[in-house]
Amino acid sequence: MAVSWLRRLAAHAPAAVFLAEGARAGPVRETLAVAHGIQLVDSPRHASILLIVGNVSNGWHDDLRRVYDQLPAPFASVWCRSEPFEALSNPTRIDDIAALPQGLIDTQRELMLGQRASALRLLPDEPPNPWEGLGDDGHGGEGMMGGNPYGRPMAMNMQDDLRDGLTLDTLTFRLGPFHPALPPGLQAEISLQGDLVQSWSVTRPPFASVIDPVFLAARQAPVSIAALELTRARHHLHRLYRGLCIAGWPTLAERTLHFAGKLGPDSDIAGLRRSLERSGLWRLALPAPGRGEVDKAQARELGGPAARAAGIEEDLRCQDANYRRLGFVPTCQQAGDTAARWWQWLNEIEQSLSLARQAIRLDLKTAESAFIETPHGPWDSSCPHDKSDLLSDLLPGLEWGEAMLTLASLDVAGLDPHPLEDTRLTSTFQAGREVGT
- pLDDT at residue 158 greater than cutoff 80: no
The pLDDT value recorded for residue 140 is 76
Look at residues 379, 324, 420 and name the one whose alpha carbon lies nearest to residue 54. 420
How many CB atoms neighbour CB 18 within 10 A?
A: 25
- pTM value is 0.89
Q: Between 34 and 437, where is the model more confident?
A: 34
What are the Cα distances from residue 73, in Å, to 179, 190, 302, 352?
A: 21, 30, 43, 47
Residue 296 identity: K
Rg (CA), the chain: 24
Query: What is d(CA 386, CA 290) in angstroms, rounded to the nearest whole number?
Result: 25
Number of residues that this document lists for the chain: 437
pLDDT digits (tens, 9 = 90+) for 243-271: 999 999 999 999 999 999 999 999 999 99
pLDDT for position 371: 87
Largest CA distance in the chain: 80
pLDDT at 157 (0 to 100): 61
Q: Are 366 and 228 contacting, i.e. CB atoms less than 8 angstroms apart?
A: yes
pLDDT at 433 over 50: no
Answer whether 50's CB lies under 8 Å from 85's CB. Answer: no
Buried b (16+ CB within 10 A) or exposed e, 376-393: bbbbeeebbebbbebbee
User: What CATH number does domain 2-112 carry, 3.40.50.620, 3.40.50.11750, 3.40.50.12280, 3.40.640.10?
Assistant: 3.40.50.12280
Q: Spell out the residues 6+ positions from residue 265 whose beta carbon is closer than 8 angstroms to its own.
A: 226, 230, 353, 356, 357, 360, 435, 437
Residues 185-199: tens digit of each pLDDT: 999 999 988 889 999
User: What pLDDT digit, counting tens, does each position of 28-46 carry?
Assistant: 999 999 999 999 999 999 9
Tell me how far apart the alpha carbons of residues 255 and 246 are, in angstroms, rounded to a whole number: 15
Inter-residue contact 257 to 269 (CB < 8 Å): no
All structural domains of the chain with their residue ranges: 2-112, 154-204, 209-434
Sheet-wide strand order for 196-204: 170-175, 187-193, 196-204
Tell me the pLDDT tens digit for each residue of 165-179.
Answer: 666 678 888 998 999
Task: Tell me if 2-112 shares its fold with 209-434.
Answer: no
The CATH number of the domain covering residues in 209-434: 1.10.645.10
Helix count (H) and strand count (E) of the chain? 16, 12
